[in-house]
Structure 1
């Protein structure tokens, strides 16, 4: 059975929204961790917000290695408001239950299914018991109020096990967790 992995940039106060606005550095170790994650993935789950932002940028950014990868990789978009995802090649809109779709995708042959950005989708997958691994690249910064955190203040108790932790040259911490089951 295929696994679903997510990787997110996070601040010390658990902000995951718009890391380009608060993340002080992107270091070599973060790049290597992202490369390892992408090397295992052959499908990507995206939420509506991430899809909309990325579909406006990555298809035209052809000189970037990530652009080449993301543009050619099958993308599955979870959205109850989008009518179409045709503007970005290799994109499919998930119709019906996201849980049923992800469960079916996990049963198919292939590599890891990644979740790119999309913190709301990551939260949903955790709640549904469908996320197998979560990597947080925690920057040594407090991003402050008015931004979305990974989990809401009223989130249910969910236990995770630490799989690996690596400090980086910029002072960040790359921490990988699996839900305790």
Structure 2
């Protein structure tokens, strides 16, 4: 049975929107894109890789998938680009249609939570989610997330899309299973669900 592993860059006030570059995600007039790049640290890749496992697939919502598919296939060869191009990609969307342009991509049709629950029963590898906030909130609501790895940056933005919205999932407890601090002050905390 597959496990859903959510890996997110967050600010101290919970914003997850557009960590990579300034124009990554301008939805809702967001003006603070690229906030995570100055705190990159080799420790981040090591810790994230350890939580992903050696066999994994990418699970993404439409917006993240489209941004990744537009960006990563055009980058210079490097281990991360090669891994993303090679890995199986599952995309939860009610608006995309097949065939999907990025190699090794499969569309999950219909209700995202039901499709992911079915997929977890069918695969053995970890299903790793980067970004995809709308999808992650749905998966949390349906108790389908097995692990969250949160990279918490020492920064507040005051606005932006948050991982845990005001109308987020029901009350739930999470158990801290691992914690690392990078030289740039980012706390990487791994959590498993601990029930209500």
- TM-score exceeds 0.5: yes
Write the distance in 2 (CA, Å) between the matches of 1:139 and 1:109.
33
Q: Alpha carbon RMSD of aligned pairs, Å?
A: 1.6
TM-score (norm 1): 0.92
SS at match of 1:6: strand
Deviation at 1:109, TM superposition (A): 4.3
How many pairs were matched up?
A: 180
TM-score (norm 2): 0.85
Check conservation: 2:11, 2:153, Cα contact below 8 A.
yes
Q: Counterparts of 1:85-100 in structure 2 under 5 Å?
A: 86-100=100-114
Aligned partner of 1:66 among 71, 77, 80: 80
Which residue is equivalent to 1:101? Answer: 115
Deviation at 1:103, TM superposition (A): 2.0
Aligned partner of 1:151 among 164, 175, 194: 164
SS at match of 1:7: strand
Deviation at 1:32, TM superposition (A): 0.9
Higher relative contact order (CA 8 A, sep 6+): 1
Q: Which moved more, 1:114-123 or 1:77-86?
A: 77-86
Deviations 1:109-148 (A, max 9, x none): 4221111221211111111110000010001011221x10
Query: Runs of 5+ in structure 2 lacking a partner?
Result: 21-33
Write the distance in 1 (CA, Å) between the matches of 2:82 and 2:52.
12
Q: Counterparts of 1:17-96 in structure 2 under 5 Å?
A: 17-20=17-20, 21-23=34-36, 24-84=38-98, 86-96=100-110
Write the distance in 1 (CA, Å) between the matches of 2:142 and 2:55.
21
Q: Which moved more, 1:155-164 or 1:31-40?
A: 31-40
SS at match of 1:31: helix
**1:167 is aligned to 2:181:** yes
Deviation at 1:53, TM superposition (A): 0.6
**1:3 is aligned to 2:17:** no
Check conservation: 2:5, 2:52, Cα contact below 8 A.
no
Write the distance in 2 (CA, Å) between the matches of 1:69 and 1:37.
15
